[in-house]
Chain A
Amino acid sequence: MLTLQDVQKTYHFSAPALQGVSFSLGPGEIVGLFGENGAGKTTLMKCILGLLSYNGTVTLDGEPVTRKNIERFSYATCEHSFFPRLTPEAHREFYAAHFPKFRHKRFDALMDFFELPLRREAGRLSTGQQNQLEVVLALSQGADYILMDEPFAGNDVFNREDFYKVLLGILEPEETVLLSTHLIEEVERFVSRAVLLRKGKVVGDRTAAALEEEGKTLMEYVKETYHYRADRVLRALDRLSGEEEKP
């Protein structure tokens, strides 16, 4: 169980990026982390991984996150964390050498599924392929908490749909995924829980089952949580056309 308690982060000379975030992620959950740009999704993941300093606590099964248990986390980010000069094959060797629980079979199967060239330098793959490699590595590391930060920026929709299905097929019951994305409608069916972040605070946290009981779609829940005003567009258009009609 990954538990965050009152996590706060302020970058120098800026408004706070995270203001007391608390929640827990259990084994086997597929959690969607949603929020507007700048809501703190990326900052939150980096704090969990210890890539940023922060106030508050993050514990994994009661223990703080240190070198001893860091291998239980893997990370796929839209910024990409692979080595541009290394081929996927060389990445496999590097990962296997540093992460004893590396899943070779899964790596092979996913490389095959995405049809990624094993021997081309990562820096020379297309953006879509780079995203895929990033995700393949995060899934094959042998971690049980897989953090993905907007991993599909730039991939076409077929790619993404296929990917969700493969993910559902290969994830084991004890693997937990935290996925931050803008694509709410797309991931609606496959997440089991949604955590909504806004300006560094958790403003919503519902399981898919609870939303079903309430008869709400995820999109509806998100819109009502953010007080989305559906008439905004109409009113803006009204104002615009009103202006143009002036003589």
Chain B
Amino acid sequence: MKKPDLSPLVPPGVNGATEVHWTLIGVGLSAAAGLLGFLFRLNQHCRSARWDLEATGIPGEIGTFRVILDGNLFCFALVNLAMAGMLLYHIDLHYRGSRSIYLMRRLPQRWELLRRCAALPLLGLLCSVLVWGLLQPLLFWMYLTIPPRSFLPPLYEGGFWAALSRGGFLC
């Protein structure tokens, strides 16, 4: 696939490809960190449920989905902050070393300045939110399938769709 020309989407002189590259890495790492953190806590809860089982004969209960998830997707917030930073950086570039802001504000094309400053930050934010949003059903599915069924709280009985309709995803 031919590399797309990103130059109309960034302030002149900025390497759009590099910014996209690092944003994707940021989102990827956030997803990886979220996944690993989730699995780690899930494992912790399962282990303690197993101890309960061995000690008392009754299986313990692991936390609800949200309890396991809590805080693990924090890195996405950092990526979002970085996108805000990128926006500010793009704007600031027009005041550094010269006032190219005067040229940009004189262009006949109304949206040129806004487009160049905000396009990648907005796309990056969108990507971050999208991945954050898509990751959660995946983690939910893992929550339902990885631990032994007896460890799951009663709310989650009956499989993926039953648990979902009972609001298990939100607890």
Partners in one complex: yes
- The residues of A with any CB-CB pair to B shorter than 8 Å are 49-51, 67-68, 70-71, 73, 75, 77, 79-86, 90, 94, 98-99, 122-123, 130
In the complex, what's the smallest C-beta–C-beta distance from A126 to chain B, in angstroms? 14
- Write out the residue numbers on chain B whose beta carbons fall within 8 Å of the beta carbon of A71: 108
On whether A83 and B13 interact (CB within 8 A), knowing A70-B108, A99-B108, the answer reads yes
Of the 9-residue stretches B70-78, B83-91, B98-106, B138-146, which lies at the interface with chain A?
B98-106
Q: From the candidates A75, A85, A86, A122, name the one contacting B106 in the complex (CB within 8 A).
A: A75
A82 near B98 with CB under 8 A, answer yes
A83 near B98 with CB under 8 A, answer yes
**B157 contacts chain A at the CB level, 8 A cutoff:** no
15 contacts between A and B (CB under 8 A): A51-B105, A67-B110, A70-B108, A75-B106, A80-B98, A81-B102, A82-B98, A83-B98, A83-B103, A84-B97, A84-B100, A85-B12, A86-B13, A98-B108, A130-B98
On whether A83 and B105 interact (CB within 8 A), knowing A67-B110, A77-B99, A98-B112, the answer reads no
A75 near B102 with CB under 8 A, answer yes
In the complex, what's the smallest C-beta–C-beta distance from B95 to chain A, in angstroms? 10
- Write out the residue numbers on chain A whose beta carbons fall within 8 Å of the beta carbon of B97: 80, 84, 123
B12 near A90 with CB under 8 A, answer yes
B99 near A84 with CB under 8 A, answer no
On whether A79 and B99 interact (CB within 8 A), knowing A85-B12, A85-B13, the answer reads yes
A84 near B13 with CB under 8 A, answer yes
Query: A79-B99, A80-B97, A81-B98 are known contacts; what are 13 more A-B pairs with Cβ within 8 Å?
Result: A51-B102, A51-B106, A67-B108, A67-B110, A70-B106, A71-B108, A75-B103, A79-B98, A79-B102, A80-B99, A81-B102, A84-B97, A86-B13
On whether A94 and B12 interact (CB within 8 A), knowing A79-B102, A81-B98, the answer reads yes
**B109 contacts chain A at the CB level, 8 A cutoff:** yes
- The residues of B with any CB-CB pair to A shorter than 8 Å are 11-14, 96-103, 105-110, 112
User: What's the Cα separation between A86 and B100 when bound, in Å?
Assistant: 11
B107 near A98 with CB under 8 A, answer yes
- Write out the residue numbers on chain A whose beta carbons fall within 8 Å of the beta carbon of B106: 49-51, 70, 73, 75
B109 near A81 with CB under 8 A, answer no
User: What's the Cα separation between A123 and B101 when bound, in Å?
Assistant: 15
Of chain A, the residue at the smallest CB distance from B108 is A71
User: What's the Cα separation between A73 and B103 when bound, in Å?
Assistant: 11
- Write out the residue numbers on chain B whose beta carbons fall within 8 Å of the beta carbon of A49: 102, 106
In the complex, what's the smallest C-beta–C-beta distance from A24 to chain B, in angstroms? 21
In the complex, what's the smallest C-beta–C-beta distance from A187 to chain B, in angstroms? 23
In the complex, what's the smallest C-beta–C-beta distance from B90 to chain A, in angstroms? 13
- Write out the residue numbers on chain B whose beta carbons fall within 8 Å of the beta carbon of A70: 106-108
User: What's the Cα separation between A68 and B13 when bound, in Å?
Assistant: 27
- Write out the residue numbers on chain A whose beta carbons fall within 8 Å of the beta carbon of B101: 81
- Write out the residue numbers on chain A whose beta carbons fall within 8 Å of the beta carbon of B12: 83, 85-86, 90, 94
- Write out the residue numbers on chain B whose beta carbons fall within 8 Å of the beta carbon of A68: 108
- Write out the residue numbers on chain B whose beta carbons fall within 8 Å of the beta carbon of A73: 106
What are the nearest 3 A-B pairs in CB distance?
A: A85-B13, A80-B98, A84-B97
- Write out the residue numbers on chain B whose beta carbons fall within 8 Å of the beta carbon of A82: 98, 100, 103
Of chain A, the residue at the smallest CB distance from B103 is A81
- Write out the residue numbers on chain A whose beta carbons fall within 8 Å of the beta carbon of B14: 85
In the complex, what's the smallest C-beta–C-beta distance from A178 to chain B, in angstroms? 15
User: What's the Cα separation between A83 and B101 when bound, in Å?
Assistant: 9
User: What's the Cα separation between A51 and B113 when bound, in Å?
Assistant: 14
User: What's the Cα separation between A79 and B96 when bound, in Å?
Assistant: 11
In the complex, what's the smallest C-beta–C-beta distance from B141 to chain A, in angstroms? 47
In the complex, what's the smallest C-beta–C-beta distance from A163 to chain B, in angstroms? 20
User: What's the Cα separation between A149 and B88 when bound, in Å?
Assistant: 28
In the complex, what's the smallest C-beta–C-beta distance from A45 to chain B, in angstroms? 10
B103 near A84 with CB under 8 A, answer no
- Write out the residue numbers on chain B whose beta carbons fall within 8 Å of the beta carbon of A79: 98-99, 102
User: What's the Cα separation between A194 and B162 when bound, in Å?
Assistant: 84
